[in-house]
Structure 1
Amino acid sequence: MAVCLCFCAAIGAAQSTSQVIQGEEIENFLAQAKITRQQSISVGVTLPRKLSLELDGKVQFGAFKTIDEGPVPTKQLDGGVELQFQDSWRTEVAAYELDKLIGLGMVPATIERTVDGKRGSLQFWVTAQMDEGQRVKKKLSAPNPIMWNQQVAILITDSWQIRLIDHSRTFRPFEQLKDPKAPTTFSRSLLAKLEELNEAMLKEHLGKYLTPYQIQGLLKRRDAILARSKELIAEKGAGAVLYQ
């Protein structure tokens, strides 16, 4: 999560939840449910499919993604070249596993599954009021604009709960934050979880889906977030920087 870690540090780990989107029960449902229908999704450049799922009389939906490109050198709009560009279903699963490690509760349950002979990520379908693009188009103000980040794909529920989706291009091996000055407030509980992350833990839970370079980049960005929080606390005091 190249930008997600920065985003998460700002908005914190606790949100009231109306729709359960994570947990072992949902993971088992995604793994075992019969696929009764497949249909194209009108948005997204990676051509995901919406699956209708049924198990023991219960019907739910899931987003299935099979793209698996890179890491490869890719030319950027500014003329530069990104050497480790990746667009893969693997990082969709990694994003969910990382979310569980840090207790964020914003990435819908996502598992690895094979459908019609194609391996990919299957993510629990979130009921949302709008996405970030629609919010901007409607000129609706976020409940706390300072903590809002428009650089990640998010869904917004009718009660302004945030759901983070579309992580197929995340976990780039960058060592720096995209905007080192962007985080200005931090959740105490989330910072504590970030402190606990280490290479062995990430390899155990994410090693199947991320390269060693991606894991190292993740840890470097984590270190940058922690350093930024300490810098601001020293400058402004904990009361102005930390919450919850």
Structure 2
Amino acid sequence: MKHLFAIFSLALLLSMGPQMALAQFTPEQIAQRDAQEEFLLTADILRSEPLGEGVTKPFKLYLGKGGVEGEACWKNPSGTKFGFLEGWQYEIAAFRLDKLLGLNMIPPAVEREFQGKKGALIYWAENKYSLLKVVEQGIRIPDDAVERTEKAKWLTRAWDSLIANEDRTQQNVLYTEDWRMILIDHSRAFRSSKEFTGRLMFGRRGIKVSQRGEPWLFRRLPRTFVEKIKTLTFEHIKAAVGTALKDREIKAILARKDILLEEIALMVREQGEDAVLY
């Protein structure tokens, strides 16, 4: 049986442009994302198994179509669980907004029924470590990957600030063998209450701080990411996410966009553009 990654030609990579400056997925993986979405929507479910990790009780599904096989995670959390508002549709919104911004850090996700219930089906992210494993086992990040992983960390904080993701943990930050970062689990994102529209999740006045009360900053960011943020409008986001987000949730993104850009502008004034943007 062939794996899904094996069926695409190198010619698809020629359309990749400046968006690659942000990417954690490889050019091959980015070129395959539309096909992966179609595969998630139409492939047969060959078998399934419950996943022991996570409070949302997800399943790992094994998919097949036309001799091609792949794996995915299905989850359908909704309502309030353990004091957090959950929504499986936010997984889909996160992926679609990732595509709109050219972030390329979020695995493909679609809506699909399983066992008679609607939920999010998310392409299985190939990885070697979680951040939790790196920390707990004292795994050393190679010298030639330190700068890249630091930049990915700061970009993740800016991303989580934009979407008000209050559940970024060491378990849902993944590293590939060559130390690219992949982000999963966004069912507790896209908050729209006043608490999450007046402040960012991270940054100088961030909701989340270290154990010592110090802010977690996004020290350096890609210019292309910042320019993409500037172009976001209600219409652009609505067209990208469809029914995955309510209008108030889109408006909340735009409120946070303004706060995020204000903080970045302040950083540039204080430190100089080249010290903040790359």
Which interval holds the TM-score relative to the shorter structure? Answer: 0.7 to 0.9
Contact 2:43-2:64 within 8 A present in 1 as well: yes
Runs (5+) with no aligned partner, structure 2: 1-20, 158-167, 205-216
Distance 1:40 1:102 in 2: 32
Contact 2:229-2:257 within 8 A present in 1 as well: yes
Q: Count matched residues.
A: 221
In structure 2, the partner of 1:186 is 221
CA separation of 1:44 and 1:202: change in aligned 2, threshold 3 A: same
1:177 aligned onto 2:200: yes
Distance 1:40 1:221 in 2: 36
In structure 2, the partner of 1:61 is 71
Distance 1:64 1:211 in 2: 22
In structure 1, the partner of 2:110 is 111
1:197 aligned onto 2:232: yes
Give per-residue Cα distances to partners, 1:80-111, cap 9 Å, x unaligned: xxxxx520110000000000000011100000
Distance 1:180 1:242 in 2: 16
CA separation of 1:140 and 1:223: change in aligned 2, threshold 3 A: farther
Give the % identical residues. Answer: 32
Contact 1:232-1:241 within 8 A present in 2 as well: yes
In structure 1, the partner of 2:6 is none
> Tell me, what secondary structure is at the counterpart of 1:222?
helix
Report the aligned-residue RMSD: 2.1
Q: CA deviation at 1:211?
A: 2.1
Q: CA deviation at 1:146?
A: 4.4
Give the structure with the larger strand fraction: 1
Q: CA deviation at 1:163?
A: 0.8
Contact 2:23-2:105 within 8 A present in 1 as well: no
- Relative contact order, higher structure (CA 8 A, sep 6+): 1
Which residue identity is paired with 1:168? S
Distance 1:45 1:227 in 2: 35
Which residue identity is paired with 1:188? R
More divergent stretch after superposition (183-192 vs 143-152):
143-152
1:233 to 246, 259, 268: 268
Distance 2:105 2:264 in 1: 22
Q: How does 1:1-244 map to 2 (within 5 A)?
A: 13-15=22-24, 17=26, 20=29, 23-69=33-79, 85-142=84-141, 143-144=146-147, 146-147=150-151, 148=153, 151-152=168-169, 153-173=172-192, 174-175=196-197, 176-181=199-204, 182-243=217-278
Which residue identity is paired with 2:29? V
Q: Scaled by the length of structure 1, what TM-score is found?
A: 0.83
> Tell me, what secondary structure is at the counterpart of 1:101?
helix
Distance 2:125 2:219 in 1: 29
Q: CA deviation at 1:116?
A: 2.4
CA separation of 1:125 and 1:213: change in aligned 2, threshold 3 A: same
Which 4+ residue blocks in structure 1 deviate beyond 6 angstroms?
Answer: none
> Tell me, what secondary structure is at the counterpart of 1:20?
helix
Q: CA deviation at 1:32?
A: 0.7
Contact 1:155-1:163 within 8 A present in 2 as well: yes
Runs (5+) with no aligned partner, structure 1: 1-11, 76-84
Q: Scaled by the length of structure 2, what TM-score is found?
A: 0.74
